Amino acid sequence: MKISTKGRYALRMLLDLAMNGKESYVSLKDIAERQNISKKYLEQIVPLLSRSGLLKTNRGYQGGYMLSKKPDQYTVGEILRLTEGSLAPVACLDIDVNECQRADDCITLPVWQGLYEVITNYLDSITLQDIIEKSPYMQGDDYYI
C-alpha cells in the first residue's frame, strides 16, 4: 500500500493548521509556503476536508482555514480514509461483506485480514496531537512536517 501525495499533503496541511491556526484562520498561501506544497494542489484538497467537516473556512479579508475540532480528535486513519479511500490491502476487504467467490476457500485471506486490522488499528491510534507531541523536529517555533 502506498499513500498518495493527496493523503500526505492533507495530513501535513492539517498538522500545519493544528500548530498555526489555534486562534485564527490561516491562509492557504501561508500553509503552502511553510509546507513547500503548491497552493493549487492544496486548493484541490480543501473541498474534500471542508465537506467532511474537518475544516472551518472563512472567506474575505483575514479569511482562511482552521481545524473544526481539537488536534487530539483527528486520527491519521480518518484523514487517510477520507483522502485515499479504503486502506484495505486487497480489494475483497474493501466492502463490509466479502463477496469474493473464493473467500471460503482462500488460504491467504487471514493474512490480508490481519494486515488490514494492524494497519487500521495503528493509523486510528495516532492523532494530530500525538504527531506534534512526539515529533523529534519540534524545536521552539521551528518545525518540519
Alpha-carbon distance of 114 to 111, in angstroms, equals: 5
Which is higher by pLDDT, 134 or 139? Answer: 134
Average pLDDT over the chain reads 89
Q: Which amino acid is at 118?
A: V
Percent of the chain with pLDDT over 90: 67
CA distances, 100 to each of 20, 27, 57 (Å): 46, 46, 42
Burial 11-32 (b: 16+ CB within 10 A, else e): bbbbbbbbbbbeeebbebeebb
| Cell digits of residue 54 | 474537518
Query: Does residue 44 register a pLDDT over 90?
Result: yes
DSSP 8-state code for residue 19 = H
Alpha-carbon distance of 29 to 46, in angstroms, equals: 13
Alpha-carbon distance of 145 to 139, in angstroms, equals: 12
For 30, half-sphere exposure in the C-beta direction (CA atoms, 13 angstrom radius) is 15
| Nearest by Cα to 6 from 60, 112, 83 | 83
Whether 17 and 26 have beta carbons less than 8 Å apart is answered as yes
In this structure, whether the domain defined by 5-85+127-134 belongs to CATH 1.10.10.10 is answered with: yes
Percent of the chain with pLDDT over 70: 93
| Nearest by Cα to 8 from 73, 71, 83, 74 | 83
What pTM value is reported for the model? 0.87
Averaged pLDDT for residues 18-25: 87
